[in-house]
Every structure is written in structure tokens, then in C-alpha cells.
Structure 1
Amino acid sequence: MITTLITVAVIAWLSQLVLGGWQLHQFNRAFDALCQKGRVGIGRSGGRFKPRVVIAIALDEHNRVCDSLMLRGLTIFARPVKIPAINGTPLQQLQPDVIFPHDSRCQNALSLALKLKHG
């Protein structure tokens, strides 16, 4: 019985490593594509037991959002998605509390991404 539990735990741990690596690979590919489009700011929020949020925005030469991505979730099954609502928006007009009125973690991540672009 103990051997079975240890075997299951090891299989679960190895699965987590493999699937976590796959998630990181997917995010890195999406982030690399984003970096090809312009200057990029990235912000992260979250906690230990709350879903984390990573938001990256790419700005064109006119300081308008030309692309974005968001990774939100607690598990290895989260995938990067685009935020089409902010495409074309000038940097100065981005307001995290307006874009994400009911999600403080997304607001925080977007605020951090915007701070990186002001520097």
C-alpha cells in the first residue's frame, strides 16, 4: 500500500514537472512573438493560493498597444490569451480599473506592466 502511494506521488510530481514545462514553453513562445511587435512591459500579480495573473503589453512607435497577452490561473492548464479590448489604445489612456473593473489581480498586473513602460 505504501509503495502504491509513493508511486502515485512520484507520477503526479513528474506529470507536474512535464506539464509545467510545457506551459512555460507555450508562454515563452507567445512572449517572444509579442516582443517582435514592439517595446514590452510585463506585470505579475497573485499569491500563493490565489490564481496568478501575468499581463504583457507591446507598444508600437506611437505608444499605442499593438498586442497583449494574459496568463491567468492557478494550475498548469492556464494558457496565454490576448486582451483585444486594449489593442490600439494609447498608453496614457490605459486605466486598469476601467479595463478590469471586477478583477483586482488583473488591475494590479496591468498597473505593473504600465509602470515598466514609463521608465
Structure 2
Amino acid sequence: MVTTLITVAVIAWLCQMALGGWQIHRFNRAFDALCQKGRVGVGRSGGRFKPRVIVAIALDDNHRVCDALMMRGLTVFARPVKIAAINGLALQELEPDVIFPNDSLCQDALSLALKLKHG
């Protein structure tokens, strides 16, 4: 009985590791594509028992959003998705509380992403 429990725990742990690696690989591919488009700012919010949110925005030479992505969730099945609603907006027009009016985690992540260095 104990051997069975240990075996199940090890299999679950290995699955978690494999799926976590798969999630990181998907995010890195999406992030690399974003980095090809311009300067990138990244913000992360969330806690241990809340869904984590990662927002990455790419700005062109005119300080306009040329692409953006967001990944949110508690599990390894979260995947990056595009934020098409902010494409083309100027950096000064990005207001996290207007873009995500009912989601404080997304607001926090976007606020951190907007603190990218000018230059």
C-alpha cells in the first residue's frame, strides 16, 4: 500500500514537472516572438493561492503597442493569449484600470509591464 502511494506521488510529481516545462516552453516561444517586434515590458501579479497573471507588451519606436500577451491561471494548463484590444495604443493611453476594469490582478501586471525603460 505504501509503495503504491509513493509510486502515485512520484508519477504525479513527474507529470507536474513535464507539464510545467511544456508551459514554460510555450510562454518562451510567445515571448521570443514578442521581443522581435520591439521593446518589451513584462509585469507579473498574483500570489501563492491566487491566479497569477503575466502581461507582456511590445512597443514600437513611436511608443505604441505593437503586440501584447497575457498568461493567467493557477495550473500548468494556462497559456499565453494575445491582448488585441490594446494594439496601436500609445504608451500614455494605457490605463490599467480602464483596460481591465474588474480585474485587479491584470491591472497590477499591466502596471508593472508599463514601467519598462524608455530608450
Asked if these proteins are the same fold (TM beyond 0.5), I'd say yes
| In 1, Cα distance between equivalents of 2:108 and 2:117 | 15
- Report the equivalent of 2:29: 29
TM-score by length of structure 2 reads: 0.97
CA deviations on 1:16-60 (whole Å, 9 max, x unpaired) are: 000000000000000000000000000000000110000000001
The alignment partner of 1:8 has SS state of helix
- Report the equivalent of 2:50: 50
How far off its partner does 1:117 sit? 3.9
| In 1, Cα distance between equivalents of 2:51 and 2:100 | 15
Aligned residues: 119
Structure 1 unaligned spans of 5+: none
Identity of aligned residues (%): 81
TM-score by length of structure 1 reads: 0.97
> What are the equivalent positions in structure 2 for 1:73-92 lying under 5 Å apart?
73-92=73-92
| In 1, Cα distance between equivalents of 2:49 and 2:25 | 23
How far off its partner does 1:118 sit? 4.8
- Report the equivalent of 1:3: 3
| In 1, Cα distance between equivalents of 2:118 and 2:50 | 28
Structure 2 unaligned spans of 5+: none
- Report the equivalent of 1:38: 38
How far off its partner does 1:116 sit? 1.9
Q: Is 1:105 matched up with 2:100?
A: no
